[in-house]
Structure 1
Amino acid sequence: MSTTPPDFRDLASLVHEHAERQPTARAVCCGDVCLDYQGFDERIDRIAASLQRDRLAPRETIAICAAASIDYLALFVGALRAGLGVAPLAPGSTAAQLLAMVDDADARLFFVDGAVADALADADAKLPPGVHDVRLDDSTGGPAFTAWLAPEGSRPAPVPIDPAWPFNLIYSSGTTGTPKGIVQPHAMRWAHIQRAVQSGYGPETITLTATPLYSNTTLVSVIPTLAWGGCVVLMPKFDAAQYLALAERHRATHTMLVPVQYQRLMARPDFGRHDLSSFRFKFCTSAPFHAELKADVLARWPGALVEYYGMTEGGGTCILEAHLHPTKLHTVGQPAEGHDIRLIDEDGREVPAGDSGEVVGRSPGMMSGYHKHPAKTTEAEWYDSEGRRYIRTGDVGRFDADGFLILHDRRKDMIISGGFNIYPSDLEAVLRRHPAVADAAVIGIPSAEWGETPVACVVLREPMDAQTLRQWANDQVGKTQRLSALRTFAELPRSAIGKVLKRELREAWSAASGSAATQ
């Protein structure tokens, strides 16, 4: 595929055009503060000029670790205007992880808020040599962002943006180990902007954002909103009641949420008393979105419901327009236009139609690679017989007769017990059907007899004996799928974007006494 997208435009230039065309239109809101496009563009200019003053050159990187705010978003776009890439980091990372990511990104400036700065200080963490921090929220103890900013009216030197340059460096969530930096070029983001036309993004769009700005999940909705001249409403910390109030207040038209957020919103007794009629599109990605929850959202929340299945690394994306395909809610949809999705076996060969295999994908939106990790980049790639590059997902699935992709599980989460493949998602779906079960995750643990054996971690909505629940579940499945143990938890560990941290569950199970016994 061409490395130079047709009619390529960079985000910072598009924002500037909106400032000239609709200067008083709202660009971004957070709390009680809103900034129009003229004010937002002027802020971006001052930031870009400040970065150039500090001699940061195009293709270099800054790092940000802070709660969502107007200045966070302006800093992100300001860095892009100066030709820089941005490494947005998760505040929930350990001090050691943050320092490693800042060092890996080769960031010379590290923008933090007071909470992150305090956490680093408590851990006695020292920034890598040559890296300077700036307090994005002007908190005490370090250089203040407002003092760092160039004077009002400052303008940066123009920087023509190459679509191959890094737009951002997204670090993987670390659910399976040390985070890796995923280099996403401007060309990849331009592909997202173009695709967004099909989802109604435009000058009238009001996107309510309740996931963190370091997450690709969030950026997939924030970037096209700004690119098409809409308004981004930032919610620094998700709260179901506050979300519903903000949606009514701002007359939100678009939103991107992860499944656990939909679950919490739909579970509120007062959900139906809120006027959500302004919504045109609701999106979901990042974690399994169960069919029953999709059906509930469709029944009670106005507007279209669209699920995206894909990876931060890019490659192929599947889209399920749930409102148009209510009988396909158990799938993640069909390949997006221009996206090529294949299924391969363990030897890298394509599987016959109807068979299951690892999902690989190719599209205009693909990462350049893992930053400084060429070997890991190679591991993530698959090439077809004609030498075309695809990205491996690590997910196992199959296509139904209509071309909709049905996911089984993460390949690494698949349990091999007595030579049989067991998909945890199948068992989790069974457990969730019980009225006493609020949430469930199934993991594999070592077994002397079977190699591995499935066990369940369950959150209950009402009291129930664990042994009785395990027996009920085992009555619903085949002999090879039966759970050898079941434990109840107050809640399942999740990442900031709602993914169940199965690695932590395995560690907790292993650390507990009598881990093979049912409790």
Structure 2
Amino acid sequence: MSWSDDDYGWVGDWTARRASLSPDRTAIVDATDGTRATYADLESRANRTARLLEDYDVCEGSRVALVSRNRLEVFDLFFGTGKTGSVLAPLSYRLAPPELAELLELVDPNLLVIESPFVERLEHAMARSSVDPSVLEIETNEPAGGWDVYRDRLPVNDGPVESRDRALSDPHLLLHTGGSTGTPKETTVTHGSLYWNSTNTITAWGLRPDDVTPMVFPNFHTGGWNVITLPLIHMGGTLVIDREVDPRRVLDQVETHEATVLVAVPAVLRSMATHDDWDRTDLSSLRFVKSGGGPCRDSIVQAWRDRGVDMSQGYGLTEIGPNNFAMPDEYDPGKVASVGKPVLHADARIIDENGREVEAGEIGELELRGPHGSAGYWRNPEATRETFGNEADAERWVSTGDLARVDEDGFYHIEGRKKNMFISGGENVYPPEVEDVIADNDAVAEAIVVGVPDDQWGTVGKAVVELTDEARTNAATPEDALALEDLEVFLSGKLARFKIPKYLAFVDEMPMSGPSKIDRTALEDRFGDDEDEGSQNESGEGGENRNDTDDGAEVEP
């Protein structure tokens, strides 16, 4: 029997083995309500959850969709689905009902578990879809939706459940992402992907059993599971979870729980470093901090390093990893602009447009491979071939879509997106999806969205709009025809808030690079500058509105 076909390391066995080794060690602290769970507790809770899933006819290969903030029940479902051999599909509560409806259609769950605050949103989503799963509500102090209540249906029996015959190649997580057109895709993350990413992280980052971390990524991200959660559980460390990510609370958690490790998106790290409590918070327990989910500005890195904290940048994606690189021992601090070198069980290469590896120092597309890669996209063979290559290909490299270079010392530097996607507060934003919705506005003839730098979110969207003749005729200025506030109201409920542009600019006519093809590069060159510099419309009149609120993106889990 080959390694890929046996069941060593499959998720259903993790809590039992960790509980047998360190039953009384604290696994999770819920900072919202003060609840603590040991590793023995995790195993008991997972067994009860597995029986709950069986009561709802969730069996091997069945999907369980989940819409919830970070809480203990999320971990119960992760390990409970592991024990039943079923598949967990966490969905973002930040998405609008139409987006959630598409994902529900794709996942086709047997069971849907919803935290109370998101009941109404999911009711609208299910009304738009053809799926009809059983529904359980994780009831909070919010109004209930009239479905079965999760805690009321949990069986009392917490003894060991019957083991399932699953392989490392079997799926365990479906994590959603999007394509360049905004069409949703679910990445199929196998038991083996989870195991090998955890192994890579432990060996490259030097995680220890006494490590403690505030877990600030949401559970519907690969960051919520693979960046630090599962590697730390493998080591028997302690996670501090919270419903919201507030900089003051995270700073307090670092000090109160003597956190040793912190991984977060740049927006969170920046909000912590600029908070009033920053200077008086004791950070001395932190062994290292890592930034992920998008490029981190030098000023943020320096702020943490000025406090004596070893901070570096990571790099990964849902399709592989996400922990693919690490900084070597005793690295030159001047290398912090890079993402480091490949971890122990990951290969990286940079290729040109013809698929040939480029020379050191040259920029090309970054490709990755390793046993921590996902199996592809759920029920989407065409997109799988495009990103992962053919299944029969012995060298199955994952195309990242990112541009990168390797310096003379072997450090990898990410140079930007190959496509026009940008990352806002750790969230992927795909301009064509946003443009399609903006174009539905009666005042809009054409719209293009470009990313612009933002100190808080890293990048936010700027909508460049060509108005219809009617709208232009009936308004004294472009802003009278379509103000940014009006656009926000129009997009609300149709798109997640982090996708809604924070800036609005106008052109009399879109530049073209060919027949019926808008020149995106020209627009990016013209409007993709720093937002504080403003921009003009083609007639030379002031043509930009700005949204100075913080609603353009979200970072709370």
**TM norm. shorter chain > 0.5:** yes
Q: Shift of the alpha carbon at 1:35?
A: 1.6
Checking the alignment, whether the CA contact within 8 Å between 1:343 and 1:351 is kept in structure 2 is yes
Residue 490 (structure 1) aligned with residue 543 (structure 2) = no
Secondary structure in 2 matching 1:44: helix
Give the match for residue 368 of structure 2: 361
Aligned-residue Cα RMSD (Å) equals 3.5
Q: Percent identity?
A: 22
Q: Shift of the alpha carbon at 1:373?
A: 0.4
Q: Shift of the alpha carbon at 1:162?
A: 0.9
Query: TM-score, normalising length from structure 1?
Result: 0.80
Checking the alignment, whether the CA contact within 8 Å between 1:169 and 1:181 is kept in structure 2 is yes
* Larger CA deviation: 292-301 vs 26-35: 292-301
Residue deviations 1:64-84 (CA, integer Å, cap 9, x gap): 111111111111111112111
Look up the equivalent residue of 1:201 and give its one-letter code: L
For residues 317 and 242 of structure 1, the distance between their equivalents in structure 2, rounded to whole angstroms, comes to 29
Checking the alignment, whether the CA contact within 8 Å between 1:443 and 1:455 is kept in structure 2 is no
Give the match for residue 86 of structure 1: 88
Give the match for residue 236 of structure 1: 243
Checking the alignment, whether the CA contact within 8 Å between 1:295 and 1:329 is kept in structure 2 is no
For residues 403 and 208 of structure 2, the distance between their equivalents in structure 1, rounded to whole angstroms, comes to 36
Residue 280 (structure 1) aligned with residue 287 (structure 2) = yes
Q: Shift of the alpha carbon at 1:486?
A: 7.2
For residues 385 and 197 of structure 1, the distance between their equivalents in structure 2, rounded to whole angstroms, comes to 30
The verdict on how the C-alpha distance between 1:366 and 1:385 changes in structure 2, with shifts beyond 3 A counting, is closer
Task: Choose from 307, 310, 317 the match for 1:311.
Answer: 317
Residue 133 (structure 1) aligned with residue 138 (structure 2) = no
For residues 154 and 126 of structure 1, the distance between their equivalents in structure 2, rounded to whole angstroms, comes to 40
Q: Shift of the alpha carbon at 1:123?
A: 6.2
Residue deviations 1:416-452 (CA, integer Å, cap 9, x gap): xxxxxxxx99x95xx98xxxx9966687964248934
Secondary structure in 2 matching 1:110: strand
Task: Choose from 176, 201, 206 the match for 2:212.
Answer: 206
For residues 167 and 33 of structure 1, the distance between their equivalents in structure 2, rounded to whole angstroms, comes to 27
Give the match for residue 356 of structure 2: 349
Q: Shift of the alpha carbon at 1:347?
A: 3.1
Checking the alignment, whether the CA contact within 8 Å between 2:213 and 2:240 is kept in structure 1 is yes
For residues 459 and 70 of structure 2, the distance between their equivalents in structure 1, rounded to whole angstroms, comes to 30
For residues 136 and 239 of structure 1, the distance between their equivalents in structure 2, rounded to whole angstroms, comes to 23
Look up the equivalent residue of 2:511 and give its one-letter code: S
Q: Shift of the alpha carbon at 1:224?
A: 1.3
Look up the equivalent residue of 1:207 and give its one-letter code: T
Give the match for residue 55 of structure 2: 53
Residue 164 (structure 1) aligned with residue 169 (structure 2) = yes
Task: Choose from 178, 196, 200 the match for 2:201.
Answer: 196
Q: Shift of the alpha carbon at 1:465?
A: 6.6
Secondary structure in 2 matching 1:120: helix
Residue deviations 1:35-92 (CA, integer Å, cap 9, x gap): 2222221111011122223332222221111111111111111111211111111001
The verdict on how the C-alpha distance between 1:282 and 1:103 changes in structure 2, with shifts beyond 3 A counting, is same
For residues 172 and 8 of structure 2, the distance between their equivalents in structure 1, rounded to whole angstroms, comes to 13
Give the match for residue 336 of structure 1: 343
The structure whose RCO (Cα within 8 Å, separation 6+) is larger is 2
For residues 43 and 288 of structure 1, the distance between their equivalents in structure 2, rounded to whole angstroms, comes to 38
Task: Choose from 285, 293, 296 the match for 1:289.
Answer: 296
For residues 55 and 486 of structure 1, the distance between their equivalents in structure 2, rounded to whole angstroms, comes to 55
The verdict on how the C-alpha distance between 1:47 and 1:444 changes in structure 2, with shifts beyond 3 A counting, is closer
The verdict on how the C-alpha distance between 1:441 and 1:107 changes in structure 2, with shifts beyond 3 A counting, is closer
For residues 421 and 64 of structure 2, the distance between their equivalents in structure 1, rounded to whole angstroms, comes to 38
For residues 272 and 393 of structure 1, the distance between their equivalents in structure 2, rounded to whole angstroms, comes to 38
Structure 1: gaps spanning 5 or more residues: 416-423, 469-483, 499-519
Checking the alignment, whether the CA contact within 8 Å between 1:442 and 1:457 is kept in structure 2 is no
* Larger CA deviation: 37-46 vs 372-381: 37-46
Residue 447 (structure 1) aligned with residue 511 (structure 2) = yes
Q: Shift of the alpha carbon at 1:352?
A: 3.5
Look up the equivalent residue of 2:229 and give its one-letter code: V
Look up the equivalent residue of 2:147 and give its one-letter code: G
For residues 28 and 224 of structure 2, the distance between their equivalents in structure 1, rounded to whole angstroms, comes to 14
Checking the alignment, whether the CA contact within 8 Å between 2:102 and 2:129 is kept in structure 1 is no
The verdict on how the C-alpha distance between 1:104 and 1:144 changes in structure 2, with shifts beyond 3 A counting, is same
Structure 2: gaps spanning 5 or more residues: 423-449, 465-509, 537-541
Give the match for residue 255 of structure 1: 262
Residue 36 (structure 1) aligned with residue 100 (structure 2) = no
Residue deviations 1:300-331 (CA, integer Å, cap 9, x gap): 153x3342212110078233469733111222
For residues 122 and 438 of structure 1, the distance between their equivalents in structure 2, rounded to whole angstroms, comes to 29
* Larger CA deviation: 154-163 vs 203-212: 154-163
The verdict on how the C-alpha distance between 1:10 and 1:96 changes in structure 2, with shifts beyond 3 A counting, is same
For residues 383 and 222 of structure 2, the distance between their equivalents in structure 1, rounded to whole angstroms, comes to 20
For residues 127 and 457 of structure 2, the distance between their equivalents in structure 1, rounded to whole angstroms, comes to 39
Checking the alignment, whether the CA contact within 8 Å between 1:441 and 1:458 is kept in structure 2 is no
The verdict on how the C-alpha distance between 1:21 and 1:3 changes in structure 2, with shifts beyond 3 A counting, is closer
Secondary structure in 2 matching 1:294: helix
The verdict on how the C-alpha distance between 1:29 and 1:96 changes in structure 2, with shifts beyond 3 A counting, is same
Checking the alignment, whether the CA contact within 8 Å between 2:100 and 2:125 is kept in structure 1 is no
For residues 440 and 458 of structure 1, the distance between their equivalents in structure 2, rounded to whole angstroms, comes to 11
Look up the equivalent residue of 1:208 and give its one-letter code: P
Look up the equivalent residue of 1:158 and give its one-letter code: S
Give the match for residue 383 of structure 2: 376
Q: Shift of the alpha carbon at 1:134?
A: 0.3
The verdict on how the C-alpha distance between 1:294 and 1:175 changes in structure 2, with shifts beyond 3 A counting, is farther
Q: Shift of the alpha carbon at 1:181?
A: 0.3
Checking the alignment, whether the CA contact within 8 Å between 2:12 and 2:85 is kept in structure 1 is no
Task: Choose from 99, 102, 105 the match for 2:101.
Answer: 99
Look up the equivalent residue of 2:316 and give its one-letter code: G
For residues 239 and 296 of structure 2, the distance between their equivalents in structure 1, rounded to whole angstroms, comes to 24
The verdict on how the C-alpha distance between 1:71 and 1:404 changes in structure 2, with shifts beyond 3 A counting, is same
The verdict on how the C-alpha distance between 1:75 and 1:442 changes in structure 2, with shifts beyond 3 A counting, is closer
The verdict on how the C-alpha distance between 1:441 and 1:63 changes in structure 2, with shifts beyond 3 A counting, is closer
* Larger CA deviation: 18-27 vs 397-406: 18-27
For residues 189 and 288 of structure 1, the distance between their equivalents in structure 2, rounded to whole angstroms, comes to 24
For residues 414 and 367 of structure 1, the distance between their equivalents in structure 2, rounded to whole angstroms, comes to 21
Checking the alignment, whether the CA contact within 8 Å between 1:455 and 1:485 is kept in structure 2 is no
The verdict on how the C-alpha distance between 1:129 and 1:491 changes in structure 2, with shifts beyond 3 A counting, is closer
For residues 51 and 459 of structure 2, the distance between their equivalents in structure 1, rounded to whole angstroms, comes to 50
Q: Shift of the alpha carbon at 1:386?
A: 7.9
